[in-house]
Amino acid sequence: MGLRIYVFKRIIFTFVLIFFVLTVNFIIFELMPANPMEVFASAKVFTNVEEQKKVAQMFGLDQPPHIRYVIYITNMLTGKFGVSFQHKKEVSALITIRLLNTLTLVGLSTLFSIVLGVALGVLTAWKRGTLYDDASVVLSLITYSLPSFWLGMLMILIFSRYLGWFPSAGIVPADWSVHWPTNPFYELYERIRYMFLPVLTLTLFQYGGFLLLTRATMTESLTEDYILTARAKGLKERTVLFKHALKNASLPLITNVALSFGFMLSGAIITEQVFTYPGLGYWLWQAIGYADYPVLQAMFFVIALCVIIANLISDLLYGVIDPRIRYG
């Protein structure tokens, strides 16, 4: 089987998997015990039967399951995602507002954690058995094992409450809703200040996993014969580590990186909650409390779609990174 046939089959399988995920996503929320109409009643959205009928009609809750399924599939595939129970607005418009915030926060923290974890993992594997190796492994295990909300609160306690260097919540100063700054450099400076603590929290929480995985794969790779040959040729140790050993040890890393970016759109639910950061994760947390099914369905589908696409890309990258892999 050649590369083209393999790619074609993987794409077909991806479309089948997406349809399966959509169906399971619909069934899960159909079986959920919370009734949206009861949620509306507790929130005093309607006061009589006529109001209840209007609300049910507006959200399609008066339709039988098979009709709702068709509407749901249509909304998911067209990117409309339906109307939010809580905000009474199109879910797609609400996602757009928060998407950039989450992409910036989780994207930066994931990128920093990958670079930091892989670089330190290579160095740790090179110095295996030394005090530096032991200290790096212990520190990475500590940060990787600690709850992210505890790390976040610790960052707030040290850098916000005691030192007063960075704000503890939000994404911009509260008074910007009235007077938006005209100086773009000042705006960038303030955004960096507000984003520093949540990015630092997520970076510390994630980098340990990349360090430990890199160390494990590099330790095995450094014992191979081609590494001894490269060193015998007089190549620089940096070239041996990063060009030869890391390249051949990178397949598990590619999968891990792909999954990290695949889950990026889910947002950092706990961290965004701790810092009151207006991203998709914080929005998802609010939707759970309100039983906002259209929002939850849209978010779960987007998360699953990102993971599926990330896995597809990682599978295709295997053959590019490792020439030993053949598709036929």
For the segment 105-120, the average pLDDT, to the nearest whole number, is: 87
Q: Where are the beta strands (DSSP E) in 23-81?
A: none
User: For the whole model, what pTM was predicted?
Assistant: 0.74
Candidates 228, 223, 221; CA nearest to 249 is: 221
pLDDT digits (tens, 9 = 90+) for 68-97: 788 788 878 887 777 777 777 778 888 877
Q: The tokens of 128 are what?
A: 């295996």
Say how far apart CA 271 and CA 35 lie, in whole Å.
29
Q: Which of 48-62, 82-96, 127-141, 264-278 tops mean pLDDT?
A: 127-141
Residue 39: per-residue pLDDT:
59
Model confidence band, residue 144 (pLDDT cutoffs 50, 70, 90): confident
Tens of pLDDT, residues 180-211: 777 778 878 888 888 889 898 888 888 888 88
Q: What pLDDT, on the 0 to 100 scale, is given for residue 305?
A: 82
Contact 114, 209 (CB under 8 A): no
Mean pLDDT of the 30-57 span: 61
CA–CA distance, 136 with 131 (Å, rounded to integer): 8
- pLDDT at residue 265, as a whole number: 60
At residue 264 the predicted structure's pLDDT band, cuts being 50, 70 and 90, is: low
Q: What is the mean pLDDT of the chain?
A: 78
Select from 256, 265, 128, 267 the least CA-distant residue to 202: 267
Positive/negative CA dihedral, 229, 235, 238, 239: negative
Helix, strand or coil, per DSSP, at residue 63: coil
Residue 129, by phi and psi: left (phi above 0), alpha (psi -120 to 50) or beta? left
Distance CA 308, CA 4 (A): 19
Which residue would you say has higher pLDDT here, 309 or 201? Answer: 201
**pLDDT tens digit string along 8-29?**
787 888 888 888 888 888 888 7
Domains of the chain: 97-291+298-310 (1.10.3720.10)
Helix (H, G, I), strand (E, B) or coil at 83: strand
Mean pLDDT value across residues 98-114: 84
Q: Which of 240, 222, 223, 219 is nearest to 231 (CA)?
A: 240
Instruction: Tell me how many degrees the CA angle 15-20-25 measures, rounded to the nearest 5.
Output: 125
